[in-house]
Amino acid sequence: MSSSAGTEFADWQAIRELTATYNRCFDNSDAVGWAGTFLTSGRLEVRGEGVAYTGHEELADFCRSRGWGILHMTLDPELTVDGDHAEQRCNLLMFRRHESQERPTLLATGRYSDTLVRTSEGWRFDLRAVQLDTRLGAHEEMSP
């Protein structure tokens, strides 16, 4: 493996770990950790719904408002890295978890389109845009 290929793999792995941290923090109601996956000026958009949250304070407030019970799964990542900037596209499955440990309910499918920036602390989302295909569960329980 060339050093270039090794660098590319390291970036790919770091971005996938950031995405996993995003999922885990949101799903566990860790609002500060979840907001920290974004740049301080980072933005989450729900395309087609006119909903957006910008900056760590708005992002953390959104996460806190949802509470525990969502389970995000991101699949089939496509990554392009160009120096300190990257783009990622991945599919999304979103489930509702139940404290009673009954079977999770599929709520939605969709995909994320992300722009990322390498910082001194590692990769961070600049823009995370989610496009939901369908909402299969109760509308009031949805969270991107």
Does residue 126 surpass a pLDDT of 50? yes
Does residue 122 surpass a pLDDT of 90? yes
Pick the range with the lowest mean pLDDT from 38-42, 73-77, 140-144: 140-144
Query: Please, which pLDDT band fits residue 138 given cuts at 50, 70 and 90?
Result: very low
Question: How many residues are there in the chain?
Answer: 144
Query: Please, which pLDDT band fits residue 75 given cuts at 50, 70 and 90?
Result: very high
Does residue 120 surpass a pLDDT of 80? yes
pLDDT tens per residue, range 86-115? 999 999 999 988 877 778 888 889 999 999
Query: Please, which pLDDT band fits residue 6 given cuts at 50, 70 and 90?
Result: low
Residue 10 near residue 61, CB atoms below 8 Å: no
pTM: 0.86
Higher pLDDT, 27 or 6: 27
All domains of the chain, ordered by start, with CATH?
3-141 (3.10.450.50)
Does residue 5 surpass a pLDDT of 90? no
Mean pLDDT of the chain: 88
**Mean pLDDT to the nearest integer, 24-53:** 94
